[in-house]
Structure 1
């Protein structure tokens, strides 16, 4: 049974893109000269992932610095940076492949005034399940119609327009008919796929610091707390830790005996630092390791361990077997050899 996975991204009006369609495979490589828009495409999928969490649009894209998790920092450029020059709207969409078929989401976000959903639709294999209608801009409401296969016909109700409509459906649709249950099932598949998106852009300068030891450490998108995550893996799952060690050993330019941790305590706080044990060549801490080794360690940790150790707000109510992680790897080959990149 296929897990819900994003298989197409539509950038109708987003940053530098106009009417672009990007098909996604199990491995999709974006390449081209600097400034062509590779990062913008990754940002588009990250925006959809953030909106799927159900927070206000502005908060989702500008960040909530007083919170932890994927919304703690803004998407690149924030809300205003997502709007194409000379426009006052963002138009995005995606298609998710699921066991029920292909689920298509399209949305228009207006930014002339408070950010709001001006149009949103959800369909399954070409059949419209949810669509929006008339707006009440002053009260920030929009009429929503969703599929219902009873004699009553489709159901209409006003929704807050400051939040993605699809993210609100699980709390608004009763599921009392087969049609409504189909709406909820398609909604769950779409939100599951989008919430399992993890943007990863390791920043070696931030990865070199000592990290506070935390048995529940979750890797941030910049991998600044990589040492805490390595410490967690070493204590929690020897099998995954062993796989990570073998991947790092295969990528190392010198024989590597182990991936260990240095520890120190200050003010009652235990801190850790990842250490590459190079045998007779000595031990190299993350604070002295090369950019390439640190970036490779971060990418390998994500690809080999999965969403459980990532700073994601996943659909925890959905079994692991029905979820599929999507990694947005920024500058995957930066600082790495061809062989190291190929191994990832």
Structure 2
């Protein structure tokens, strides 16, 4: 089945109710793939033992759609405050997080070729090329916030040339933006966005290597009610997508001394010592809570988390023990280091993480989403439970969400934790 097929009808899960006279892009139809088969990748009994409703401080992603991406077809995944994808190898856990991160990077303005360095690997296996030799993939999401539910659907051509060939933003019962490829010889798509003024629709070309929704705040004047609706929806989508930190702690790179730098924790957490120094000097309350968390996840008593500045100016992290002893973090096991790094990520917030949040929006009105592929890697049951309890507790304030993947043993532990939603995938 082709991932990009002209003239087809969206599956029921991908349709949006819009007025009959809503603006629609012409040219290649990219948001359908024929009648959808029953989605078997996500069990409807995905478990969410909720500890009560959580009101987010800012816009958040509430649904991830993989209409045709890697091993997924017609898949809609709910995203809650703490969401974990589980399933055997090959079920698509990591690809779901890869799609989420891709949308986040596009929302932040990254070009398409940097977001998808291997686009052919995103095309569903067995997808045949259309009559023009094109293959591609489709992803999307829904956000919730002040503008209400806002839906983004994106179609990407992977072959023969990587480009966005269709984008649709909907909200409030209106199609607010559509783009379509008109001339394959140009590196642009034709965009049409809702105006609801003297001219009901504004049309203009947009680059085919950027997310059009992220460009709308620079292109829409905001003079009419329709334009204001478009701006509100686009800004909500962009803020929700940009407020993401993908975390992949690498214990071998966390053991040695590091330069002080700016103290913002990087994706691999290799500058753990620099981030600990920053929390110790600037976030005393969070640092104290991190010490308490370390006591739960590290072997032996933990009384402090310190940082030593060596003669050459490098920083070296230590774990305080009873009697004033200090253990270098390099002596910790891989599971302890991963636990410590993930706990720091959950507690630190955007001010300590290397995340490109929306600077024009106050941090108090944003909700950070942490993406953690292989969350339970090297962790024992006690450590995983400690991290999940921490995520649920912090998430209750509405400023943080966690989306990760776990193995089946980790999923068993997660199902026992109130406030955690487990989405079971099948190969």
User: Are 1:316 and 2:359 matched, yes or no?
Assistant: yes
Indicate the residue corresponding to 1:279 in structure 2.
322
Look up the SS of the partner of 1:132 in the other structure: strand
The Cα shift of 1:280 comes to 4.7
Is the 1:50–1:61 Cα contact (8 Å) retained in structure 2?
no
Please give the per-residue CA displacement for 1:69-121, whole angstroms capped at 9, x wherever unaligned. xxxxxxxxx43432333442120000001122100000001122432111100
Partner of 2:399: none
Q: Give the gaps of 5 or more residues in structure 2.
A: 1-54, 128-134, 388-427
Show structure 1 runs of 4+ deviating over 6 A. Answer: none
Are the aligned partners of 2:122 and 2:137 in contact in 1 as well (CA < 8 Å)?
A: yes
Bigger mean CA offset, 17-26 vs 278-287: 278-287
**Equivalent residues of 1:121, 1:132 under 8 A apart:** yes
Residues 297 and 340, structure 2, Cα contact 8 Å, conserved in 1: no
Residue of structure 1 equivalent to 2:385: 342
Give yes or no for the alignment of 1:296 onto 2:339.
Answer: yes
Equivalent residue for 1:242, pick from 288, 292, 295: 288
- CA deviations 1:45-77 (Å, max 9, x no partner) are 001011112232002333xxxxxxxxxxxxxxx
Check whether the contact 2:120–2:159 (CA below 8 A) recurs between aligned residues: no
SS in 1 for 2:340: helix
Q: Aligned to 1:55, which of 107, 110, 124?
A: 110
Q: Distance in 2 between matches of 1:85 and 1:255?
A: 50
Query: Is the CA contact (8 Å cut-off) linking 2:316 and 2:328 kept in structure 1?
Result: yes
Contact 1:207 1:223 in 2 (8 A): yes
- CA deviations 1:154-191 (Å, max 9, x no partner) are 11111111111111111111112121111111111100
TM-score (norm 1): 0.90
Residue 228 of structure 1, aligned match among 250, 274, 283: 274
CA RMSD of aligned residues (A): 1.7
**What is residue 125 of structure 2 aligned with on the other side?**
85
Query: Which of the residues 373, 386, 402 maps onto 1:330?
Result: 373
Structure 1 residues 170-185: aligned runs within 5 Å: 170-185=217-232
Counterpart of 1:162 in 2: which secondary structure?
A: coil
Partner secondary structure for residue 286 of structure 2: helix
- Give 3-state SS (helix, strand or coil) of 1:8's partner: strand
> 1:168 is paired with a residue of what secondary structure?
helix
| In structure 2, distance between residues paired with 1:137 and 1:209 | 51
CA distance in 2, matches of 1:251, 1:34: 27
Structure number with greater CO (CA < 8 Å, separation at least 6) is 2
Give the match's secondary structure for 1:234: helix
- Please give the alpha-carbon distance, in whole angstroms, between the structure 2 residues aligned to 1:135 and 1:55: 23
| Separation (CA, whole Å) in 2 of partners of 1:31 and 1:231 | 35
Moved more, 126-135 or 313-322: 126-135
SS in structure 1 of the partner of residue 82 of structure 2 = coil
Determine if the alignment matches structure 1 residue 133 to structure 2 residue 191: no
* 1:282 CA displacement: 4.1
1:275/1:301 Cα in 2 relative to 1: closer, same or farther (>3 Å)?
Answer: same
CA deviations over 1:265-321 (Å, ceiling 9, x no partner): 33xxx2112111222594321222111111111111111111221121110101112
Q: 2:309 aligns with which of 255, 263, 269?
A: 263
SS in 2 for 1:28: strand
